[in-house]
Amino acid sequence: MKLKEDSQLNEISKKFSEAVKKFTKRNYKEAAIDFGNIIEKYKDSEFYSVLEIQARAKSYKNICDSKTSRKKNEPDTENSLLNELLFYIGTDDYTEAEKTIKKLETKKINSPYSMYLRSLLAFRMEDVDAALGLLKKTIAKDDKYKIIANNEPDLQELQENEEFLAIIE
């Protein structure tokens, strides 16, 4: 069974990475199609690691759809704010990402997912200590983030960091 999971995980990871590249280049229409294909193809997967990436594809697709609809989207719900944060992280717009974090703090949103996204932002901003601290707090709230962090393309550079390995153990 592990071989089947590894096969699906490798396949979806590759497709997700290709879609994120289009997203990062602001090719939202193409990225939306790719994310939609991921969502459809893997919706019935039996593997949590695959479904986690499929769920992230849904978030990215929602952002792409919002960006291509030309409607001004003023996020106010937890999900819309987290999608906005994910978007700004994905497009390397750290100033706007930090503004979104302020909105999350104002609304007292401190879910494991919001903390996880904050850890990704800290890592992208090259603050490894803050990233690891936030990741540790995230996993303390929900240990499924051990698997998510281990499979996170943005955190691949940490695969040999002893503190990171201890956190995701």
- Out of 47, 73, 99, pick the residue that ends a domain: 73
How many domains does the chain fold into? 2
Tell me the C-alpha distance between 64 and 87, whole Å.
9
- Out of 18, 42, 73, pick the residue that ends a domain: 73
Tell me the C-alpha distance between 63 and 60, whole Å.
5
Task: Give me the pLDDT at residue 162, please.
Answer: 92
Residue-wise pLDDT for 25-78, tens only, equals 889 999 999 999 999 999 888 888 888 888 889 888 888 887 887 665 566 688
Q: What is the mean pLDDT of the chain?
A: 87
| Domain co-membership, 125 together with 142 | yes
| Domain co-membership, 163 together with 95 | yes
Task: Give me the pLDDT at residue 31, please.
Answer: 93
Task: Give me the pLDDT at residue 150, please.
Answer: 85
| Domain co-membership, 13 together with 89 | no
- Out of 29, 53, 73, pick the residue that ends a domain: 73
| Domain co-membership, 116 together with 135 | yes
| Domain co-membership, 38 together with 107 | no
| Domain co-membership, 105 together with 155 | yes
| Domain co-membership, 156 together with 90 | yes
**pLDDT class of 80 with cuts at 50, 70, 90:** confident
Task: Give me the pLDDT at residue 50, please.
Answer: 86
| Domain co-membership, 95 together with 57 | no
In terms of pLDDT, which residue wins out, 35 or 155?
35
| Domain co-membership, 27 together with 6 | yes
| Domain co-membership, 89 together with 61 | no
The range of the structural domain enclosing residue 117 comes to 78-169
CA separation, residue 119 to residues 127, 155, 163 (Å):
9, 10, 14
Q: Do 68 and 28 form a contact (C-beta atoms < 8 A)?
A: yes
